[in-house]
Chains A and B, each alone.
Chain A
Amino acid sequence: EAGVAQSPRYKIIEKRQSVAFWCNPISGHATLYWYQQILGQGPKLLIQFQNNGVVDDSQLPKDRFSAERLKGVDSTLKIQPAKLEDSAVYLCASSRDRFNEKLFFGSGTQLSVL
C-alpha cells in the first residue's frame, strides 16, 4: 500500500513569513496526526483528526498555527507568521483508528526559520 505522502521535504523561510505543509494519509486511515519534532526532543503532538473532526489540538499554538482536514482525507498545516522557534521537523502520521493501532509516518518537512 502507498505510504503517507508529505510535502515539501524542506522549507527555508524568514521569520514573520507564512508556510504551509501538506499531507495525504494512507487510504482508509481515519486518524491523522501532525507532530512537531524539535532537535533533541521527542515528537510533540500538535493536532489529531478523527476523519474530518479535531480530537485534540491542546498543544497547537492557535495564534499562529492552523490545520484542516477537508473531507476527512488530505490535511494542511499552516504557520502564520513563523517564529525562529518554529524551526523543526513536522511529521504527519496516520492510523486506521485512534486506539491501539500503530502510526504510519510520512517523510517529514524540515522547516528552517531564519
Chain B
Amino acid sequence: ILNVEQSPQSLHVQEGDSTNFTCSFPSSNFYALHWYRWETAKSPEALFVMTLNGDEKKKGRISATLNTKEGYSYLYIKGSQPEDSATYLCAPHGGYQKVTFGTGTKLQVIP
C-alpha cells in the first residue's frame, strides 16, 4: 500500500486568488499519478492522469506538475472561483498496484 500525503488538509481562499496543493508519494515503483476533483453531492471526477517525470498538464485554470524522482505533484488553480470549491484527491499507483487515494485537500473559495 502506497503512503500518500496531501497538504494542506483544507484551505479557504478569496475569489480571484491563486492557490496550490501538494501530493507526496513514494518515488520508487512509480507508474502513474491521478488527480480527481470531488464536489459535494457529486461523484469524483478525473482531472489529470500523469505518467512522465516533469510532465505538466492543464485544464482551463487548473494545472498540475509531476516530479517522479522526488515523489511529489503540485496542483495549481489560477484565479479561484466559487465553483472550484471541492475536495481535490491525488492517487498514485505503481503499475500492478492498487490506485491509492490520499485524504484530499478541501478547498473553499469565498465569494
Q: Which A positions have Cβ atoms within 8 angstroms of B? A: 3-4, 33, 35, 40-45, 48, 56, 58-59, 91, 93, 98-108
A59 contact set on B, CB distance < 8 A: 1
Query: How many positions in chain B have a CB within 8 Å of any CB in the partner chain?
Result: 24
Q: With contacts A33-B99, A45-B98 known, is A102 near B89, CB below 8 A?
A: no
A102 contact set on B, CB distance < 8 A: 34, 46, 49
| Chain A interface helix/strand/loop/mixed | loop
B46 contact set on A, CB distance < 8 A: 102-104
| Chain B interface helix/strand/loop/mixed | loop
Q: Which B positions have Cβ atoms within 8 angstroms of A? A: 1, 4, 6, 31-32, 34, 36, 42-46, 49, 51, 89, 95-96, 98-104
B34 contact set on A, CB distance < 8 A: 102-103
| Contact assessment for A43 and B31 in the assembled complex, using a CB-CB cutoff below 8 Å | no
* 22 pairs from A and B in contact (CB 8 Å cutoff): A3-B43, A35-B101, A40-B103, A42-B6, A42-B89, A42-B101, A42-B104, A43-B44, A43-B89, A45-B99, A58-B98, A91-B43, A93-B44, A100-B49, A100-B51, A102-B46, A103-B34, A103-B36, A104-B46, A107-B42, A107-B43, A108-B43
